[in-house]
């Protein structure tokens, strides 16, 4: 087996920076000597997804407009972790409450993945919430409008199979968290 080595970064500059993203242009030399210049890296804060189950085995999901796709999508509650969040569980509980108006009896971390390690620096954390129930009003960020839907687990699995959940990291989070909750096996 060939031992793979990371690229050497010879220079780096920020070409765009705002509150959501930083775009970095790196000058790199690959292990085989090839020059890659520029190579753009997207620096995001970590994201968190919440897979929340009610006591009657329904998933708490969001339907909201996603401008990049120009469409309304069915997806998991979650979002960007705030600097004030102590960890993924705290960030997940906060995002879940804000987006859905729900709380849960228990929150636990399931897995941390990388949404696109080729160009993104961030991670996505999956949090399982058990005993989800309404607990107050939603609290939206600027531009957010979210419809909450409660969907039985078998129905969500059908929706996933039919491509009704378009965000690939949400599909991964759903499957891994449902397996951790003992609702599916693979």
The answer to whether residue 91 is domain-embedded is yes
Q: Are residues 109 and 90 in the same domain?
A: yes
The answer to whether residue 2 is domain-embedded is no
pLDDT reported for residue 102? 98
Q: Are residues 162 and 108 in the same domain?
A: yes
Read off the pLDDT of each residue in 6-22 and give the average, rounded to a whole number: 95
The answer to whether residue 82 is domain-embedded is yes
Q: Render pLDDT for 21-66 as a digit per residue (tens, 0 to 9).
A: 999 999 999 999 999 999 999 999 999 999 999 999 999 999 999 9
Structure tokens at 161: 């199979």
Q: Render pLDDT for 55-109 as a digit per residue (tens, 0 to 9).
A: 999 999 999 999 999 999 999 999 999 989 889 999 999 999 999 999 999 999 9
Q: Report d(CA 69, CA 154) in Å as an integer.
A: 27
The answer to whether residue 132 is domain-embedded is yes
Q: Are residues 57 and 111 in the same domain?
A: yes
Q: Are residues 149 and 87 in the same domain?
A: yes
Q: Are residues 38 and 52 in the same domain?
A: no
- SS3 label, residue 96: helix
pLDDT reported for residue 143? 86
Residue 20 has pLDDT above 90, yes or no: no
Q: Are residues 21 and 55 in the same domain?
A: no
Q: Are residues 38 and 93 in the same domain?
A: no
Q: Are residues 24 and 54 in the same domain?
A: no
Q: Are residues 161 and 71 in the same domain?
A: yes
Q: Render pLDDT for 137-160 as a digit per residue (tens, 0 to 9).
A: 999 988 889 999 999 999 999 999
Q: Are residues 27 and 100 in the same domain?
A: no
Looking at residue 77, which CATH number applies to its domain? Answer: 3.90.79.10
Structure tokens at 70: 């120009």
The answer to whether residue 185 is domain-embedded is no
Residue 167 has pLDDT above 90, yes or no: yes
Residue 162 has pLDDT above 90, yes or no: yes
For 132-176, the DSSP string reads EEE-S---PPTT--EEEEEEEHHHHHHHHHTT----HHHHHHHHH
Q: Are residues 176 and 104 in the same domain?
A: yes
pTM of the predicted model as reported, rounded to 2 decimal places: 0.93
Read off the pLDDT of each residue in 178-182 and give the average, rounded to a whole number: 97
The answer to whether residue 186 is domain-embedded is no
Range of the domain at 100: 47-180
Q: How many domains does the chain have?
A: 2
Q: Which residue stretches of the chain are H helix? A: 88-100, 153-161, 168-180
Q: Are residues 113 and 36 in the same domain?
A: no
Long-range contacts of 71-77 (CB under 8 A, 24+ apart): 71/166, 73/165, 73/166, 73/167, 74/149, 74/159, 74/164, 74/165, 74/166, 75/165, 75/166, 75/167, 75/170, 76/49, 76/50, 76/51, 76/167, 76/170, 76/173, 76/174, 77/49, 77/50, 77/52
């Amino acid at each position: 087996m060939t031992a793979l080595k990371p690229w050497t970064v010879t220079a780096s500059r920020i070409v765009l920076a705002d509150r959501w993203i930083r775009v970095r242009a790196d000058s790199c030399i690959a292990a085989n000597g090839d020059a890659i210049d520029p190579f753009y890296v997207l620096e995001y804060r970590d994201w968190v997804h919440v897979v929340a189950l009610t006591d009657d085995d329904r998933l708490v999901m969001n339907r909201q407009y996603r401008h990049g796709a120009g469409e309304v999508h069915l997806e998991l509650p979650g979002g960007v972790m705030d600097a004030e969040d102590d960890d993924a569980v705290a960030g997940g509980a906060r995002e879940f409450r804000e987006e859905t108006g729900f709380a849960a009896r228990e929150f636990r971390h399931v897995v941390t993945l990388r949404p696109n390690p080729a160009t993104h620096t961030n991670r996505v954390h999956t949090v399982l919430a058990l005993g989800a129930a309404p607990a107050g009003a939603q609290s939206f960020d600027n531009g957010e409008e979210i419809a909450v839907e409660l969907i039985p687990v078998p129905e969500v699995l059908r929706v996933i199979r039919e491509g009704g959940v378009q965000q690939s990291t949400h599909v991964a989070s759903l499957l891994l968290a449902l397996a951790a909750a003992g609702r599916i096996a693979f």
